Structure 1
Amino acid sequence: MPWGEIKDTAAERRMFQRRTLVMLGVAVLLLGVLIGRMYQLQVTEHDTYRTLSDKNRVQVQSVPPTRGLIYDRNGVLLAENRPVFSVTLVPERVAGMDATLEKLQQLLSISEEDLDRFRRRLREPRRPYQELPLRYDLTEGEIARLAVHRHELPGVEVAAELVRYYPHGELTAHALGYVGRINRQELQRIDPVNYAGSNYIGKTGIEAFYEEVLHGKVGYQHVETNARGRTLRVLERQNPVPGEDLQLHLDIRLQQLAHELLDGRRGAIVAIDPNTGGLLALASVPGFDANLFVTGIGVQAYRELRDSHDKPLFNRALGGQYPPASTVKPMMAIAALDSGVIGRHETIWDPGYFQLTKGGHRYRDWKRGGHGWVDLIKAVAESCDTYFYDVAVRMGVDVIHEYLDQFGFGRNDALDVRGARSGLLPSPDWKRGAHSQPWYPGDTVNMGIGQGFMLATPLQLATATAVIANDGVWRQPRLLKDVVGDTPLDEVLPKATRDNVILKNPDDWNFVTKSMIEVMHGRRGSARRASVGASYTMAGKSGTAQVFSLGQDEEYNAEEIEERLRDHALFVGFAPVVDPQIVVSVIIENGGGGSSAAAPVVRALFDAWLEGFADEETGAELAAAGSAGESSG
């Protein structure tokens, strides 16, 4: 058969052309789809994919504000921020946490305590991509080693941050408080936006009370990163607003002198400016170094502080509740005069004891032979217990409660002092609720000399004494003097809540002040030795608080009693009498008589404040040289 009859060339050509056209159509269609998709990606959805791309390349980082500084009344820095280099890890970027930690242990000195703290924080709720610190305060050598091995440690950074530092350490710990790492409970209540990037928050004291003012407002920055998440450059930045600086009424010179005068003895000193209520000194001894708590105190160090028999973490000035003893007698004198229970010159016979009923229990005076006939001036000057037993019973517990309440007992009247306790101003209702017992006349007798159920803090004693120094005008205690910034003080400082004490005869203030002058300058004043050589007139009242009760016929002998069972020594006073400039309260735990142990301390503080700090050693020597007084009250 001929070849032409088998092969149809024309038909094959037409088939090839049709196939070519189909393939060309398919190619054109695919190209159109590709172009359409490219248009969709590059034009229609440009913003969406650019944002997704930027998320891989650009990150928004929070920039924490710089915490405000704290100064004393003379501009001395009490709390500052210092740069510290630490090694941090971002868990989301760490390839293998265990291997990374093991590698870091080879490069740095990392204790088991540091590792335990880091793992605990790793388990706690936190913000995504938040840096978790592992070791603080790196040395230059450690920073260099980390830089050399940086490429082997993804997610590990050397971070520089400003950390709170207290230059005076133990001197200001109880007054200022301290900042610390934000914990789980705080994380749930703080503003997550404003605290983004912040690791520290005020824990106690002024640092906690004025946290909002000191913290400031967070900023942010857009940074470009590489594939490993390391920052290449800052693209945009919104600066944070730093916290406001605060100036306190506290005088660090007086604060230091207060610590020196206590000389390691357990106790507290509070000094107030009666014209403003400003706290000039707030000392509690023993204390602690607040810097230990900023970046996290070690378990062993904290255990030693917590378990110490001397309780250095306890703020005795604000939280210590003690029987006020005879320091409450000037307030009782005001109550007795104003209520009309006794006249200024009315006398009471003191045989050395007081009895509610003939042949009944004898409430003893500190002077076993008694003071004889006693009027109000002599009763305060010589601290006659029998006199105040008698007027207390005459007034009754309800009248006493009413007047002492006006002086701030049983209340926390501090405007900005966190941690201050209210003490205890007992009443019949309180005793029924607390002890399921009625109020007995003997309870009133004990209350008359500041013993029994009544408790007061050193801050309350200073505040009540300031009311007398001001002739009834209330100046509630506060630490903040001014805000060094744009925020007005009135917007920050809490408003005063107490009314002035108004007496029927305003001259009673001067009369009771005269009795307190007799304590210091009178011929038989219980603390007259503390005023020897003074160039100014001062007013005061000593107190000796029993730690345990003696039996009816027992005598107190300090030498035969365990040290921690000995009487507490107290003293309150103000100076000068005309236009008072300073009010001081002192408690020395188990210190003995208030006149012998505490009065010289008050005198030294008066001298320093009124005559200058040029020779601080003189004040310390004066306190150390305090001789035995004539009275235990």
Structure 2
Amino acid sequence: TATFAVNEYRLPGVTLEAVLHRDYPQGSLVSHVLGYVGRISESEEAMIDSSAYQGVRSIGKIGIEKQYEDLLLGRPGFAQVEIDAHGRTLRTISRNSAIPGNTLNLTLDADLQRIAREALGNRRGAVVAIAPSNGEVLTMVSSPSFDPNLFVDGIDQQTYDALRGLEDRPLVNRALYGRYAPGSTIKPVIAQAILDAGISPQESVYCPGWYTLPDSTRRYRCWKKTGHGPVNLHGAVEQSCDVYFYEMGRRLGIEAMAEVLTRFGLGTVTGVDLPDEPDGLVPTPQWKRATRNESWYPGEDLITVIGQGFLMVTPMQLARMTATLANRGIPVQPRILLSKEESLSGETLSSNVSSQPAKPVVEASLDRVIQSMTAVMHSPRGTARASGRRSPYQIAGKTGTAQVIGIAQDEEYDESVIPEKFHDHALFIAFAPVDKPQIAIAVVVENGGSGAKAAAPIARKVMDRFFQKKLQRTAVVRKRHVFG
């Protein structure tokens, strides 16, 4: 730069001009959350205040970059100068200094982000972890990912087409925009609806491995072919018995189920501070009539109660539902912005968080449901007992497996002969510690098969690291206290 300035007179008509350039040092680790900036398009140019973008060539396209574009933008400056015939500056007549944009501090833990990403490996899926006490998003991973630096100065069409054409769709933020059948992860919420309906938690349902509706010969399978035998509410959640929930789903009906699922935040936007959040779907007979002009059938109660059928949720919604369970029914709004630092004063301002406590989504106690979720992790028959083994803290969790394709009555699901893209999705939700929850997590592994085998171990790794870091911080504080 200095060499050019000295020799500028040798290059008439050529000037050196500084431009703003965004760099993402974490690369693909947080690309779906941070998003990226890119060149201002014609459509964007028509919508923005051109005076605010003088000298600025880029704008936030997705993620935090788009959500908080107004905070990050700053204000352009200008200088009125006198130049000679060769374009050299003789003197500055007036100057209005630019004001940098704010510095944003996020709730994300880069270390947890890395652990979750490594645990997912090359598999497609998402991990979302939330602090139940305040909704802070601790980690939000979507796999596969992409390098946002490709977009900063404008990505060439060939590279962009190649990214969009990949079957694994790395540009899609699965944690926010992925919609999945939740499978058995909703059973704790349904269990609460069962209790709210006045059905005794001690009432037993016999599971032979299948269930039929009255006056019907169609068999609705339980995941355990040999059956669970007699199970009550606690055992049904602990062992994820489908037959118990088929019977209870028939009694409750779709309206009661839809009402409780909606109260726990499924099918509605979470309000997380990211743009264009989708709402998912909690189906009802009215919805089906309006969108498909079809009637609702009793069998659809059964597939909905085990988290299949039309029911669609996002990993972010599952994480919020889990946080609500952890809070004993009190919902939180997920948030990613922790604070902002004003560029001129240096003052740090916390993000706007409501000081008014949210109203509980249930009136009755969730203790029974949480006890059964704890048994999922720590009892000899719990479906996720392998991931709960030797844990130094108590975990409440629920496994889930969601079918991608339907299986006919006379067919058996054989993963070994089905293309990988048609394998079941694996899901898992959990919070810990049970008595005073500090983290709530949801994991989805696309085509991962069993939630207990594919998704639960990922959550355990993230939670282990979370508590390990808290212990390390506590040890440092104690050491400082001892040694002054």
- Which TM-score applies when normalising by structure 1? 0.71
Residues 57-114 of structure 1 show CA distances to partners (whole Å, capped at 9, x for unaligned) of xxxxxxxxxxxxxxxxxxxxxxxxxxxx9xxxxxxxxxxxxxxxxxxxxxxxxxxxxx
How far, CA to CA, are the matches of 2:385 and 2:26 in structure 1? 35
Contact kept? 1:542, 1:570, Cα under 8 Å: yes
Of structures 1 and 2, the larger Rg is shown by 1
| 1:505 is aligned to 2:350 | no
Distance of aligned partners of 1:497 and 1:294 in 2 relative to their CA distance in 1, 3 Å threshold:
farther
Instruction: Tell me which amino acid in the other structure corresponds to 2:165.
Output: D
Instruction: Tell me which amino acid in the other structure corresponds to 1:307.
Output: G
Match of 2:82 in 1: 224
Provide structure 1 residue ranges, at least 5 long, that are not aligned to the other structure: 1-84, 86-139, 616-633
How far, CA to CA, are the matches of 1:449 and 1:318 in structure 2? 22
Contact kept? 2:341, 2:349, Cα under 8 Å: no
Distance of aligned partners of 1:496 and 1:407 in 2 relative to their CA distance in 1, 3 Å threshold:
farther
Match of 2:479 in 1: none
Q: CA deviation at 1:593?
A: 0.3
Instruction: Tell me which amino acid in the other structure corresponds to 1:311.
Output: R
1:35-50 correspondence runs (5 A): none
Contact kept? 1:544, 1:570, Cα under 8 Å: yes
How far, CA to CA, are the matches of 1:338 and 1:227 in structure 2? 84
Distance of aligned partners of 1:146 and 1:442 in 2 relative to their CA distance in 1, 3 Å threshold:
farther
Residues 141-194 of structure 1 show CA distances to partners (whole Å, capped at 9, x for unaligned) of 9x799958622xx3x433222311110000010011111111112212212222
Contact kept? 1:392, 1:448, Cα under 8 Å: yes
How far, CA to CA, are the matches of 1:417 and 1:150 in structure 2? 47
Residues 529-549 of structure 1 show CA distances to partners (whole Å, capped at 9, x for unaligned) of 111111110010011110101
Distance of aligned partners of 1:496 and 1:297 in 2 relative to their CA distance in 1, 3 Å threshold:
farther
| 1:203 is aligned to 2:90 | no
Match of 2:116 in 1: 258
How far, CA to CA, are the matches of 1:158 and 1:390 in structure 2? 75
Match of 1:163 in 2: 21
RMSD: 2.3
Residues 468-514 of structure 1 show CA distances to partners (whole Å, capped at 9, x for unaligned) of 00011111111011112367857x648699953343422xx111011
1:62-73 correspondence runs (5 A): none
Contact kept? 1:465, 1:574, Cα under 8 Å: yes
Residues 539-595 of structure 1 show CA distances to partners (whole Å, capped at 9, x for unaligned) of 100111101010102111111110111111110101111111111111111111000
Match of 2:218 in 1: 361
Question: Aligned pairs, how many?
Answer: 469
| 1:468 is aligned to 2:325 | yes
Residues 211-244 of structure 1 show CA distances to partners (whole Å, capped at 9, x for unaligned) of 1111122222111122354544322211122211
Q: Secondary structure at the match of 2:188?
A: helix
How far, CA to CA, are the matches of 1:445 and 1:242 in structure 2? 57
The equivalent position to 2:125 in structure 1, one of 267, 271, 283, is: 267
Q: CA deviation at 1:283?
A: 0.4
Match of 2:39 in 1: 181
Q: CA deviation at 1:402?
A: 1.0
Match of 1:396 in 2: 253
How far, CA to CA, are the matches of 1:299 and 1:187 in structure 2? 20
Instruction: Tell me which amino acid in the other structure corresponds to 1:344.
Output: P
Match of 1:545 in 2: 402
How far, CA to CA, are the matches of 1:164 and 1:251 in structure 2? 21
Distance of aligned partners of 1:601 and 1:250 in 2 relative to their CA distance in 1, 3 Å threshold:
same
Instruction: Tell me which amino acid in the other structure corresponds to 1:373.
Output: P
Match of 2:101 in 1: 243
Match of 1:12 in 2: none
Contact kept? 2:210, 2:222, Cα under 8 Å: yes
The equivalent position to 2:287 in structure 1, one of 413, 416, 430, is: 430
Instruction: Tell me which amino acid in the other structure corresponds to 1:272.
Output: I
Contact kept? 2:429, 2:443, Cα under 8 Å: yes
How far, CA to CA, are the matches of 1:336 and 1:431 in structure 2? 24
1:425-574 correspondence runs (5 A): 425-485=282-342, 489=349, 493=352, 499-506=358-365, 509-574=366-431
Distance of aligned partners of 1:518 and 1:349 in 2 relative to their CA distance in 1, 3 Å threshold:
same
Distance of aligned partners of 1:315 and 1:474 in 2 relative to their CA distance in 1, 3 Å threshold:
same
Instruction: Tell me which amino acid in the other structure corresponds to 1:159.
Output: E
How far, CA to CA, are the matches of 2:225 and 2:6 in structure 1? 77
Q: Secondary structure at the match of 1:612?
A: helix
Distance of aligned partners of 1:274 and 1:592 in 2 relative to their CA distance in 1, 3 Å threshold:
same
Instruction: Tell me which amino acid in the other structure corresponds to 2:130.
Output: I
